[in-house]
């Protein structure tokens, strides 16, 4: 059974087929790339996978379970988490509290217990602190736990966003252009981080990316979108050398 199975996914905005009859299969533990020119429909696919958009037609199955049309919160609880091309952190909150936000979908105390500060509230808050610090330490961010998220260097903000996504305990992690805005050294470090996340957390990863060095260096398979339709898919090295992909994506 595939970790993610997408069948004939289509979404129409005012007569425009932004994504048209798109299908995809990703196996558990894969590092998979979704690439294509600007406006090809990549982020729209992510938005449908995470419940931001409801598909016009088609089906999305996560670990064999239909999740098509469910809300963002429901889909996250089922096991999909994501990051964004433009980093979305709670900049006025601490590094630690950003990760604790990701843990909120696992808390069990009631609103009343939280308001009244009953013993269960304090117990779970201590446990969440411990889990958050443990996760931050994986990314070497535990020493910055009390800093405002906005005060972290750019590369560390990317790591924090990934850490927060992992705090939701996903099966599938979606990374939307994680190397955007990074210098070559930061990109090389990011490649190590993504591999580490896959191995350490037994994670399946789907990423959108324009950096072909990163895609070629970590993705085992890729799918290429162009004008909302699949142009090619398969083993990364073969797809990146496909004449139509070179023409449409690399502009050659």
| Residue 124: band (very low, low, confident or very high) from pLDDT cuts 50, 70, 90 | confident
* pLDDT higher than threshold 80 for residue 186: yes
For the chain, what percent of residues have pLDDT higher than 70? 89
From the list 49, 107, 36, the residue with the least C-alpha distance to 82 is: 49
Task: Determine the average pLDDT of the residues in 102-117.
Answer: 64
What is the arithmetic mean of pLDDT over 102-121?
63
Q: How many residues are there in the chain?
A: 252
DSSP 39: T
Which DSSP state fits 139?
T
Cα separation, 189 vs 207, in Å, equals 16
Q: What is the DSSP letter of 210?
A: S
Radius of gyration of the chain (CA): 19
Q: Which residues face 32 on adjacent strands?
A: 206, 221
26: phi then psi, degrees, rounded to nearest 5: -125, 130
Residue-range domains of the chain with CATH: 4-79+170-249 (3.40.50.300), 90-152 (no CATH)
Model confidence at 181, in pLDDT bands (50, 70, 90)?
Answer: confident
Q: What is the residue-averaged pLDDT of the chain?
A: 89
The band of 140, judged by pLDDT with boundaries at 50, 70 and 90, is very high
| Strand, helix or coil for residue 213 | helix
Matching residue, tokens 């590094």: 95
Q: Which residue has the tokens 């496909």?
A: 242
Mean pLDDT (whole number) for 82-100: 94
Share of the chain above pLDDT 90, in %: 67
Higher pLDDT, 116 or 72: 72
**What value, to the nearest 5°, has the Cα angle with vertex 138 and ends 52 and 106?**
45
Q: What is the pLDDT of residue 213?
A: 83
| Band of residue 42 on the pLDDT scale cut at 50, 70, 90 | very high
With a threshold of 0.85, does the pTM exceed it? Answer: yes
Residue 37 has pLDDT above 90, yes or no: no
DSSP string, 48-101: HHTTSS--SEEEEEETTEE-TT--HHHHHHHTEEE--SS----TTSBHHHHHHH
Question: Which element (helix H / strand E) includes 195?
Answer: helix 184-200
pLDDT score recorded for residue 252: 44
Q: 108: burial class by Cβ within 10 Å (0-12, 13-18, 19+)?
A: exposed
Written as six digits, the tokens of 22 are 């798109």
Mean pLDDT over 49-60 rounds to 97
Lowest mean pLDDT among 98-112, 136-150, 174-188: 98-112
Write out the DSSP string of 90-135: -TTSBHHHHHHHHHGGG----HHHHHTT-HHHHHHHHHHHHHHHHH
What is the C-alpha to C-alpha distance for residues 53 and 139, in angstroms, rounded to an integer? 31
Q: Which residues pair with residue 165 across a beta bridge?
A: none
């Amino acid at each position: 059974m595939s970790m993610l199975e997408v069948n004939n996914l289509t979404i129409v905005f005012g007569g425009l087929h932004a994504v048209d009859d798109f299908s995809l299969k990703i196996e558990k533990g894969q590092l998979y790339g979704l690439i294509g020119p600007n406006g090809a429909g990549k982020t729209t696919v992510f938005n449908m996978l995470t419940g931001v958009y409801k598909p016009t037609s088609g089906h999305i199955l996560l670990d064999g379970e239909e999740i098509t049309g469910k809300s963002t919160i429901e889909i996250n609880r089922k096991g999909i988490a994501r990051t964004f091309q433009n980093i979305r952190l709670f900049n006025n909150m601490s590094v630690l509290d950003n990760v604790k936000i990701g843990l909120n979908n696992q808390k069990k105390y009631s609103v009343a217990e939280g308001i009244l500060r009953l013993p269960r509230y304090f117990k779970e808050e201590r446990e969440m602190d411990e889990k958050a610090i443990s996760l931050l330490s994986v990314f070497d961010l535990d020493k910055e736990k009390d800093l405002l998220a906005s005060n972290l260097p750019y590369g560390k903000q990317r790591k924090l966003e990934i850490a927060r996504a992992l705090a939701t305990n996903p099966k599938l992690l979606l990374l939307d252009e994680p190397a955007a805005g990074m210098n070559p050294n930061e990109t090389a470090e990011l490649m190590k981080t993504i591999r580490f996340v896959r191995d350490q957390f037994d994670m399946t990863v789907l990423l959108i990316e324009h950096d072909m060095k990163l895609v070629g260096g970590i993705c085992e398979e890729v799918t290429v979108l162009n004008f909302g339709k699949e142009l090619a898919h398969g083993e990364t090295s073969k797809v990146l050398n496909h004449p139509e992909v070179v023409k449409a994506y690399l502009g050659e």
